[in-house]
Homo-oligomer: A and B are copies of this chain.
Amino acid sequence: SKSYTITLLPGDGIGPEVISVAKNSLQLVASLEGIKFKFNEMPMGGAALDLTGVPLPEETLLAAKQSDAVLLGAIGGYKWDNNEKHLKPETGLLQLREGLKVFANLRPATVLPQLVDASTLKKEVAEGVDLMVVRELTGGIYFGKPRGFSTNENGEELGFNTEVYATHEIDRIARVAFETARKRRGKLCSVDKANVLEASMLWRKRVTLIASEYPDVELSHMYVDNAAMQLVRNPKQFDTIVTNNIFGDILSDEASMITGSIGMLPSASLGESGPGLFEPIHGSAPDIAGQDKANPLATVLSAAMLLKYGLGEEKAAQRIEAAVLDTLNRGFRTGDIHSAGLNLVGCKEMGEQVLKSI
């Protein structure tokens, strides 16, 4: 029987609670599918800072690299907000992405029929939204050099960063995006600011070039400001969106809020080879941490993405996805997606119900 090592990074806030639920789901589908998991829990983020003084200890990165897939809960919290840059939980996350070379971040934003009312958008605008943002994750202004602080000729302080892309970085994320679109509805929208930025002009040129390898996928281009509008005006027009690191950060969060249920949304970060990184898109929610109130479904669905994209275990992934839908159909809701007449449950109970559905 197949055996995999999974690195679990519970992290901060509600991270440990949601990871615990996701781990149980993985364990149950494993036994049903004849898979074996070895779980390796490691410190990361604020928890690692408190324990070891750094947000991503070497042992954690090493364990992650040597495993078959990494499942992360959430990182960050008020406690570390004013830390210097190299001692921020966020810096640990960026180091993890860089260390695992996971350049392709897949962020689905789907409005489930059961949850259409959770959206702040009108029902007719929100229902049926099913889009995927493919965000470049290890390049652009997040990692570009030079960066830092300096002084100009007037003795003034300057803060600066570099937005930079090399052709191979654009080509590989474009290919992931075209492959993704091909498996979906065959439409790819590349988002840039090519009317102003040279980095975006190169982006548009390369994406257009790579398109010739995918004649079955329909490619369009959109400026980022227009994309931010179109997501509000008519999100259903989108199938797959591909964009750079910073635009992807902004637009994927906007898209997730369009669904109204960010407690439901998973993400996958993939590299050329090596383990992928899977995490819910929500944050560590320090205000409700430890209160058994968190919605674990985004992490459970991240575990499903781990099975599908990380391990190629499609059937096990489908079992989890179906169980989540079944749990919703049976009327169970955590506070963030609760509405009148439905069964309000905590994080643990939601986890139990998912196990039941599996």
Q: Are the CB atoms of B257 and A198 closer together than 8 Å?
A: no
* Interface flag for A278 (CB, 8 Å): no
5 A-B contacts (beta carbon < 8 Å):
A157-B166, A158-B166, A224-B250, A230-B257, A232-B254
Residues of chain A touching chain B, judged by Cβ–Cβ distance below 8 Å, are: 85, 88, 90, 94, 120-122, 125, 141-142, 144, 147-149, 152, 154, 156-168, 193, 195-203, 224-226, 228-234, 246-247, 249-254, 256-258, 262
Task: Report yes or no: A90 in contact with B195, Cβ–Cβ below 8 A.
Answer: yes
Q: How many copies of this chain?
A: 2
* B residues near A198, Cβ cutoff 8 Å: 147-149, 159-161
Contact B149 A159 (CB under 8 A): no
In the assembly, what is the distance between CA of A148 and CA of B201, in Å? 10
- Taking a contact as CB atoms under 8 Å apart, the answer to whether B253 and A229 are in contact is yes
By a CB distance below 8 angstroms, the chain B residues around A195 are 88, 90
The reply to whether A232 and B199 form a contact with Cβ atoms under 8 Å apart is: no
Looking at A144, A149, A160, A168, the one whose CB has the most chain B CB atoms below 10 A away is: A160
The answer on a CB contact under 8 Å between B159 and A199 is yes
Q: Which residue of B lies closest to A228 (CB)?
A: B254
Nearest B residue to A94 via CB reads B196
- Given A142-B196, A160-B144: A232 and B257 within 8 A (CB)? yes
**Nearest neighbor of A170 in chain B, beta-carbon distance:** B159
Does the CB pair A201–B158 fall under 8 Å? no
Given contacts A158-B166, A159-B201, A225-B249, 7 further A-B pairs with CB under 8 A are A159-B164, A159-B199, A160-B198, A161-B164, A161-B198, A229-B253, A229-B256
